[in-house]
Amino acid sequence: MSHLVVGTAGHIDHGKSALVLALTGTDPDRLEEEKARGITIDLGFAHLRDGDTTIAFVDVPGHERFVRNMLAGVGGIDAVLLVVAADESVMPQTREHFDICRLLAISRGVIVITKSDLADEETVELVRADIAELVKGSALAAAPVIPVSARSGAGLDRLREALRALAAATPERRERGAARLPIDRVFTMRGFGTVVTGTLVSGAVHVDEELEVVPGERRVKVRGLQMHGEPVVRAHAGQRVALNLAGDDVKNLSRGQVLVHPGTLKGTRTVDAWIDVLPAARALRHGARVRFHQGTTEVMARVSIVAMPAAADSMLSIGRGEGGYARLRLESEAAVTRGDRFVLRSYSPTVTVAGGRIADPAAPAGGVRLEPTLQRFATLLAPLRGQANAETEAQALMVAETGPQGLAATALTWRMRVAPDDVTPTIRALVESGRAIDVGGRLVDPVWRTRLTERVLAALDAHHVAEPLSEGISREEVRERVLGNAAPGLAELVIHDLMKAGRVRGSDRLSIAGRDVALTTEEARVRDAIDQALRSAFLQPLESARLAEVAASTPAAVEKILQLLVRQKIVVRLDGMPFHRNSLERLKSEIRGLKEKVDGPGISVATFKDRYGLSRKHAIPLLEYLDRERVTRRVGDSRVLL
């Protein structure tokens, strides 16, 4: 079963719709107004079945005012049916439609000279010459040119034959990749609800599947699928489908939105692109306001021409017939991705001026007047021009640009157009070639592993110098203050690297290995004095003023040493009061030793304070400490020994 989507193209009244009707039996003009005025206004659809080949026709309007509708129609076609009337030959919209097809790289097609019944052979030959001139040097230069009359039926069989050959020669579209369906029509059907139609650009959709609407980030469910009027359970790339949608968010859908597998495409407002300006158009200037057309989307955009820092704005333009780099700032979101082709029309007069290809659908914010920007464009565009293996370079560039934050692996799909099935092998290729490290689903440039290692060492070193008594920086602070802008997985990896290499040690606090707490002689004396004083005080409280006196030092110096001793677990503070570790150990063993001797309700607060000669105020924190240490358990005002 093969599928071909063919779009008509050509000047108004040249017989495009009549030809589709003659080929398929379906009149593509369905609107009252179209029938009344005898012109096509919006897209029309019809299809032809030939053995196991289905040819879907998208019939476009020729009127110059409706080129935007034509653009929405040709976004998803495989081939063009370029129509030129024998009695008028090549006209302005013949050229404009053909330009659009070229800009969108539609490289297959059949050329039809319609209304052959209205012209003699000589005239038809002149039309042939005009056509040859038009398509010279293009992909359609060798396309068949077939005179046809929709009125008499002459030439229709030859045309059908040519279409059949076209279908046979056209490769099936990529089914790999995430589903992507630009909406070209939305309507409601009694008994069904909302129906949207479009051509599946990539991937496949199934009945009962959930899809996301982009832009808008709404979810809808596929209640039913139809292809050419018949229900199906699945449709794939290259097929025209009608989807019956369900869900709370199904209201207000419109042409230009795209249905995708959730999370595989995002709305964007800044894109980096290559632009080709048509030979017959005016130069595209920096700052120009244009209409950006991609798929079925149309949004206004502002062009920033990318050039070297020295170039003056007024000189910045891409000349007629030339190509160049540009950043497009869209005035509203569009659902586009890398590699997409688009068309630009000038704001006023509304004519087609250029087209191009998206290199990055989520260009970084900021100016384009920087030398690295030129390099960025060159790297991103090389693979789109067919340079082998350059895609890995382009991916590596995007990874590098995200710095220590890293690029989410999912961005490979929505930003780099990597099919979901190809994400894992792509990551592997980046990692194996040394372009990225994979930290918990984020890809980071390996230079950050080294840079952040240095950063941690420098921070620890500075800390040791500033606070020789400190035993390092808490792990949390290292993560948040020192490595705060790094992907969490990378921060962990860097700390792990340093510990494994033996350069950093610690658990709660990290310090540089070998940089032990350095006490001055005076500090060591104070420490020993405090140590001694606390040991001999046993459980008697020693306020810091008193400790300073005993140690012949200042309260501030004593406090610093006390903090060090607390961190070293030599001193324990209970309610702010310092006790020597040994005192508390002795207390615990003494109380445990009472177990055999005491019976009944255990020890009361009164017994405890009398035993150790403490005030009630000082006894309570010690008893609570014993509870916490599971030596005792409080029952009412008493302690049971455990």
Ligand X SMILES: Nc1nc2c(ncn2[C@@H]2O[C@H](COP(=O)(O)OP(=O)(O)OP(=O)(O)O)[C@@H](O)[C@H]2O)c(=O)[nH]1
Site residues (vs ligand X, CB under 6 A): 12-18, 38-40, 61-63, 114-115, 117-118, 149-151
Contacts of 42 (CB under 8 A, 6+ apart): 31, 34, 61, 66, 69
Give the SS3 label for residue 613. coil
- Total site size for Mg ion, rule CB under 5 A: 3
395 binds, among ligand X, Mg ion, none (CB under 5 to 8 A by kind): none
Q: Is the dihedral of CA 121, 123, 126, 128 positive or negative?
A: negative
Integer Cα distance of 99 and 105 in angstroms: 10
- How near is the Cβ of 342 to ligand X at its closest, in Å? 23
Q: Which stretch binds Mg ion (CB under 5 A): 38-46, 313-321, 506-514, 634-642?
A: 38-46
Q: Which stretch binds Mg ion (CB under 5 A): 37-45, 115-123, 165-173, 299-307?
A: 37-45
- How near is the Cβ of 31 to Mg ion at its closest, in Å? 11
Sheet holding 407-408, edge to edge: 407-408, 442-444, 437-439
Q: At what angle do helices 423-432 and 390-401 cross, to 10 degrees?
A: 80
Pick 22 or 211: Cβ nearer ligand X: 22
Pick 327 or 345: Cβ nearer ligand X: 345
| 17: contact with Mg ion by CB under 5 A | yes
Q: Which of 16, 115, 341, 527 binds Mg ion (CB under 5 A)?
A: 16
211 binds, among Mg ion, ligand X, none (CB under 5 to 8 A by kind): none
> Which x/- pattern, by CB under 5 A, does the window 250-279 give for Mg ion?
------------------------------
Give the chain's end-to-end CA distance (angstroms, integer): 81
Q: Binders of Mg ion among 99-138, rule CB under 5 A?
A: none
239 binds, among ligand X, Mg ion, none (CB under 5 to 8 A by kind): none
- How near is the Cβ of 238 to ligand X at its closest, in Å? 25
464 binds, among Mg ion, ligand X, none (CB under 5 to 8 A by kind): none
Pick 38 or 636: Cβ nearer ligand X: 38
63 binds, among ligand X, Mg ion, none (CB under 5 to 8 A by kind): ligand X
* Pair of tokens at residue 193: 């609800």
- How near is the Cβ of 69 to Mg ion at its closest, in Å? 11
Contacts of 202 (CB under 8 A, 6+ apart): 173, 174, 175, 176, 177, 178, 179, 180, 237, 419
Going by C-alpha positions, the residue among 611, 601, 597, 606 that lies closest to residue 632 is 601
- How near is the Cβ of 291 to ligand X at its closest, in Å? 20
**Chain centroid, CA 580 distance in Å:** 57
Integer Cα distance of 244 and 236 in angstroms: 16
CA dihedral 480, 395, 293, 374 (to 10 degrees): 90
- How near is the Cβ of 153 to ligand X at its closest, in Å? 9
- How near is the Cβ of 115 to ligand X at its closest, in Å? 4
Give the SS3 label for residue 284. strand
Q: Which stretch binds Mg ion (CB under 5 A): 16-24, 191-199, 284-292, 480-488?
A: 16-24
The radius of gyration of the chain from alpha carbons, rounded to an integer in Å, stands at 38
Pick 15 or 383: Cβ nearer ligand X: 15
151 binds, among Mg ion, ligand X, none (CB under 5 to 8 A by kind): ligand X
- How near is the Cβ of 35 to ligand X at its closest, in Å? 10
Pick 17 or 511: Cβ nearer Mg ion: 17
Contacts of 526 (CB under 8 A, 6+ apart): 551, 553, 557, 558, 561
Going by C-alpha positions, the residue among 636, 543, 538 that lies closest to residue 590 is 538
Integer Cα distance of 558 and 538 in angstroms: 18
268 binds, among ligand X, Mg ion, none (CB under 5 to 8 A by kind): none
Residue with smallest beta-carbon separation from ligand X:
62
Integer Cα distance of 354 and 293 in angstroms: 11
Pick 40 or 149: Cβ nearer Mg ion: 40
406 binds, among ligand X, Mg ion, none (CB under 5 to 8 A by kind): none
Beta-strand relationship, 145-147 and 109-114:
parallel
Q: Which stretch binds Mg ion (CB under 5 A): 17-25, 280-288, 358-366, 568-576?
A: 17-25
Pick 27 or 161: Cβ nearer Mg ion: 27
For 174, 195, 229, the CA distances from 234, given in Å and listed in that order, are 15, 16, 14
Pick 14 or 417: Cβ nearer ligand X: 14
Pick 23 or 394: Cβ nearer ligand X: 23
Contacts of 474 (CB under 8 A, 6+ apart): 508, 509, 510
Pick 69 or 511: Cβ nearer ligand X: 69
Pick 34 or 391: Cβ nearer ligand X: 34
- How near is the Cβ of 61 to ligand X at its closest, in Å? 5
386 binds, among Mg ion, ligand X, none (CB under 5 to 8 A by kind): none
Going by C-alpha positions, the residue among 14, 192, 39, 181 that lies closest to residue 112 is 14
- How near is the Cβ of 27 to Mg ion at its closest, in Å? 10
Q: Which stretch binds Mg ion (CB under 5 A): 8-16, 123-131, 211-219, 473-481?
A: 8-16
- How near is the Cβ of 117 to ligand X at its closest, in Å? 5
**Cα angle: 123, vertex 129, 133; to 5 degrees:** 145
Pick 13 or 272: Cβ nearer ligand X: 13
| 352: contact with Mg ion by CB under 5 A | no
Going by C-alpha positions, the residue among 406, 275, 393, 387 that lies closest to residue 341 is 275
- How near is the Cβ of 56 to ligand X at its closest, in Å? 17
Going by C-alpha positions, the residue among 77, 72, 44 that lies closest to residue 293 is 72
Give the SS3 label for residue 246. strand
Going by C-alpha positions, the residue among 244, 247, 209, 210 that lies closest to residue 224 is 244
Pick 28 or 406: Cβ nearer Mg ion: 28
- How near is the Cβ of 368 to ligand X at its closest, in Å? 39
| 40: contact with Mg ion by CB under 5 A | yes
Residue by residue, DSSP assigns 547-587 as HHHHHTS-HHHHHHHHHHHHHTTSEEEETTEEEEHHHHHHH
Beta-strand relationship, 230-232 and 218-227:
antiparallel
Pick 111 or 622: Cβ nearer ligand X: 111
- How near is the Cβ of 120 to ligand X at its closest, in Å? 14
Integer Cα distance of 45 and 6 in angstroms: 10
Contact residues for Mg ion (CB under 5 A)? 16-17, 40
